Structures are given as C-alpha cells and as structure tokens.
Amino acid sequence: MRTFVAIDINEEIREIAKEVIDKLQNIGFKANWSKPENLHLTLFFMGEMDEKSVDFMSQTLNKRMYGFPSFSTSLNGFGYFKFKNSPRVLFLKLESTKSLQKMYLEMKSELNKHKIKYDDQGNFVPHITLGRVKEYPDKWEELVSQIEIPKLTLVIDGFTVYSSTLTPQGPIYKWIYKSKFEGGLIKNVR
C-alpha cells in the first residue's frame, strides 16, 4: 500500500483552506484540488509498503516519539512551489518552529537507523497542499500575493500513518495508525 506519515490539522485550518481554494478558483486557477478531509501536513512519503513493514515502522516511530513534548505551530501565510515561472503546487505555509524541526529530525533519524526507505525531498518545508496546478491566470504571482491568511494555531501532540489509494476521482486516504506523544498507538482495524 502507498503509505505516508503526517500530522492531522484542525477544523479551523480546514475552513481557511476551503476559503483559500475558493479564492484561487475565482481568480482563475485550475488544479487538482485537495479535498478538505484529505488536508494534512506530510512528514514522510513512504511509497509502497507491505502491512508488516507499516506495522514495524509505526511501532518504531511511536517508541522513538514517546514522551516528546506536545507543541504548537501556526499558519504562516500562503505559498507555492514553482518550476521555471509556472506554479506547480499551491499550499498553506506553517511556521517551521524548533520543535517541529526537532520532531521531524527525530523521526527521520529513526527511519534511517532502521533503513526504512522514504522519499527524501531534502529540506523539510512544513506546508498543507491545497492543489496541484493545471492552469493559472496571467500575473498569477501578483494575484496570489494579495491572499491573506489569518494566524491560526495548530497543536501537535502526535502523528498519523496513512494509506493512499489512487482513484480517478482523486486519492482516498485512510489512517492506519495514530500515535500520541504521551503514549499510545491505535491501529485502525476497519
């Protein structure tokens, strides 16, 4: 199964994301938009893994993160990744706090220690993907620079392991494991 490790977001951030997607559509962006229920902060994209490997990885990460202090970050604006002068991915930025970086590096170190493969993008840029761009308006950079994002807080007290099934209607995400820093690893048995 295609697997990734993520941080779930709260309902307030989900609402802001929906509003921003509406604004982007109104100014002429066409994209494969993320469904509100699929929005999250990806930590690691693992690719194809069998069930035993997912179980092992989840238990290993859960053990490593046990006792990690809960922390918060906040929405930090609107952003995009571009190729040449074309926008490719539109997203909400999250503040890259010391705690968020430390959590990411702890988890990365654990994956590396057990030689668990993941898609390493180099620098960790905390963001919530809104859409992958297909078409965009003229002067798009000027238009998106006017999008204002309120500062909302996201409390982080654990992580979730998801499976991703690709369908013609878009990906379907299903949580496999939820881990809390204060202890506890829940497996979805559906």
Catalytic positions, please?
40, 127
72 alpha-carbon distance from chain centroid: 15
SS3 114: coil
What is the C-alpha separation between 25 and 137, in angstroms, rounded? Answer: 10
Q: Which of 100, 157, 106 is nearest to 126 (CA)?
A: 100
- Helices and strands of the chain, counted as H and E runs: 4, 10
Q: Give the chain's length.
A: 190
Q: Please, which residues bridge with residue 154 across strands?
A: 73
What is the C-alpha separation between 154 and 150, in angstroms, rounded? Answer: 12
